[in-house]
Amino acid sequence: MAFEISKEQKMIQKMAREFGRKELAEAAMERDHTGEYPREILKKMGELGLLGMLVPEEYDGENMGTVAYSLALTEIAYYDASVAVIMSVHNSIGCGSLVRFGSDAQKEKYLRPMAKGEIIASFALSEPEAGSDPAGMTATAEKDGDFYILNGTKRWITGGATSGVFIILAKTDPAAGHKGISAFLIEPGIPGFIVGRKEDKMGLKGSDTTDLIFENCRVPASALLGKEGEGFLVAMSGLDDGRIGIGSQSLGVGMRALDLAVDYAKQRHQFGKPIAANQGLRWMIADMATEVEAARLLVLNAAAMKDRGEKCSKEASMAKMYASEMANHVAGQSLQIHGGYGYTKEFEIERLYRDARVFTIYEGTTQVQKIVISGEVIGDKKRKKK
């Protein structure tokens, strides 16, 4: 479907691009080496409204819509994918879940500071033996008067060591499958809440990933997000936004990898001419540019459908699947064009190549996206109803 980017959306895109160029580009490789959490950068992003893009204005958000959010996230990822993943989880699932399911009291307590970037939110669904199968989780939350007692381990949690509030999924009724899952808003530092070691990851070094361990962690019933048993709904409601977010991140990295390849091909000379003059390399770049553009259209189409209130689960999965595979392929081709230099940490493409690898894994692997897409196309749900 054809669509146009509005003047306001273009302004937001330009603002995010300028912020990325001035605040992210110079130190992105250093953050990759040191693993430093971009705390000051996130504060500035909060001041610009980049951390409350999907939050209603009544809660100090910008309410810019999914297309504007996707455009801004793409620009941030172009310069630093580590910062982009924090922005994505915080906006798509953190703020989004609170907007959809939070009580008035929870919104007042958390959503306002989250929209300003004063609190960064994270989401904890995955476990050592449960990721794409939420019903298989073993973490429990047992009711005890006006409290719940949480036990279990969450794995691969973005911002596990640095976020100020977490949406934790646990089973309040272990016998009820996915209908027995509930969501809780929990702050770090309470007794029984243990943060595991930081994972030594291949990429996205500026965004920490840890286990979250709960050992008889006592939380008030007021921490329940939504109703008891609505945790699966909380998780599923954020999937479309989350997958559009990963697609946007992937697009930003793919765009950057393509630009680096073009710049290097023009500068690098072999046999008395720039390597950009070689037909084989030109065809590589033509393929890369086409893949980037296709990913852009898929991502923005899903975002536009979301803004129109249309069902877009299939389109969001298509965007996430294609864009994440694109980012990996384009980054790999860009590294190939860089030759031996691309294999060294002195060149930016080496970082992009590592950062891109996880895009086909988190928020549902490529294979899971194919399950979603094929189910929508074939009409499995309709057939089951009959």
Domain ranges of the chain: 7-119, 122-229, 238-379
What are the distances in angstroms from CA 177 to CA 138, 171, 310?
11, 8, 29
Burial bucket for residue 238 (CB in 10 Å: 0-12, 13-18, 19+): buried
Q: Using CA atoms, how far apart are residues 172 and 150, in angstroms rounded to an integer?
A: 9
- CATH homologous superfamily of 238-379 equals Butyryl-CoA Dehydrogenase, subunit A, domain 3 (1.20.140.10)
**Could you say which of 18, 118, 363, 376 is catalytic?**
363
What's this model's pTM, rounded to 2 decimal places?
0.94
Res 381: pLDDT: 62
Residues for the chain: how many in total? 386
What is the assigned CATH class of domain 7-119? Answer: mainly alpha
Res 281: pLDDT: 96
**Terminal CA-to-CA distance of the chain, rounded, Å?**
31
Catalytic residue list contains 363: yes
Res 386: pLDDT: 41
Residue in this structure with the two tokens 């996430």, named with its chain if needed: 320
Whether the Cβ atoms of residue 300 and residue 3 lie closer than 8 Å to each other: yes
Res 96: pLDDT: 94
Res 384: pLDDT: 47
Residue in this structure with the two tokens 């294979």, named with its chain if needed: 367
Res 383: pLDDT: 47
Take residue 86 and report the two structure tokens written for it: 């924090």
CATH level 3 topology of 122-229 = Butyryl-CoA Dehydrogenase, subunit A; domain 2 (2.40.110)
Res 380: pLDDT: 73
Q: Using CA atoms, how far apart are residues 67 and 263, in angstroms rounded to an integer?
A: 29
User: How does pLDDT run along the chain (386 residues), one tens digit per residue?
Assistant: 556 899 999 999 999 999 999 999 999 999 999 999 999 999 999 999 999 999 999 999 999 999 999 999 999 999 999 999 999 999 999 999 999 999 999 999 999 999 999 999 999 999 998 877 888 899 999 999 999 999 999 999 999 999 999 999 999 999 998 899 999 999 999 999 999 999 999 999 999 999 999 999 999 999 999 999 999 999 988 888 999 999 999 999 999 999 999 999 999 999 999 999 999 999 999 999 999 999 999 999 999 999 999 999 999 999 999 999 999 999 999 999 999 999 999 999 999 999 999 999 998 999 999 999 999 999 976 544 44
Q: Using CA atoms, how far apart are residues 133 and 118, in angstroms rounded to an integer?
A: 33
